A and B are shown apart, each in its own frame.
Chain A
Amino acid sequence: MNAPVLDVRGLAYAYPDGHQALFGVDLHVHRGERVALLGPNGAGKTTLVLHLNGILSADSGGHGAGAVSVSGLPVEKANLAEIRRRVGVVFQDPDDQLFMGTVRADVAFGPANLGIRGAELDRRVMHALDQVGMAEFVDRPPHHLSFGQRRRVAVATVLAMEPEILVLDEPSSNLDPASRRELADILRSLDVTLLMVTHDLPYALELCPRSVVLSGGAVVADGSTYDVLADEPLMRAHRLELPFGFDPRNVTPRP
Chain B
Amino acid sequence: MGAGHGHKLHYHGHSVVHRAPAHLKILVLLGFTVLVVATPGEWYAAFGAYLLVIAVVVGVSRVPATYLLKRSLIEVPFLAFALLLPFVAHGPRTDVLGLSVSESGLLAAWALLAKGTLGVLASLTLAATTEPHELLHGLERLRLPSQLVQIMAFMVRYLDVVTGEMQRMKVARESRGFSARDPRQWPVLARSAGALFIRSYERGERVHLAMLSRGYTGRMPRIEGRP
A residues engaging B (CB < 8 A)?
50, 53, 55, 81, 84-85, 87-89, 91, 93, 95-97, 99-102, 104-105, 108-110, 112-114, 117-119, 121-122, 141-147, 150, 157-158, 161
Would you call A112 and B221 a contact (CB within 8 A)? yes
15 A-B pairs with C-beta separation under 8 A:
A55-B213, A84-B213, A85-B215, A87-B213, A91-B213, A95-B203, A99-B157, A104-B226, A108-B223, A113-B215, A114-B215, A144-B4, A144-B5, A146-B2, A146-B3
CB neighbours of B203 from chain A (8 A): 95-96
4 closest A-B pairs by beta carbon, nearest first, are A101-B133, A112-B221, A113-B215, A110-B214
CA distance in complex: A102, B137 (Å): 12
- Counted as pairs of residues, one from A and one from B, with CB atoms less than 8 Å apart, the total is 100
Assuming the contacts A101-B157, A105-B223, A117-B224, asked whether A96 and B214 have C-beta atoms less than 8 A apart, the reply is no
Give min CB distance, A86 to chain B, whole Å: 11
CB proximity to A under 8 Å, residues B186-226: 203, 206-207, 209-217, 221-226
Interface pair B132/A101, CB less than 8 Å apart: yes
- A102/B133 in contact, CB under 8 A: yes
Contact in complex: A55, B221 (CB < 8 Å): no
Q: Does B156 contact A (CB under 8 A)?
A: yes
Contact A145 B3 (CB under 8 A): yes
Measured in the bound complex, the distance between the Cα atoms of B211 and A161 in whole Å is 13
Judging by beta carbons under 8 Å apart, are A99 and B154 in contact? yes
Which residues in A have their C-beta under 8 angstroms from that of B161? 95, 143
* B225 CB contacts on chain A under 8 angstroms: 117-119, 121-122
Q: How far is the CA of A230 from the CA of B2 in the complex (A)?
A: 37
- Give A103 Cβ to nearest chain B Cβ, in Å: 11
- CB contacts (< 8 Å) of B211 on chain A: these are 99, 109
A87 and chain B: residue at smallest CB distance: B213
User: What's the nearest-Cβ distance from chain A to residue B178, in Å?
Assistant: 26
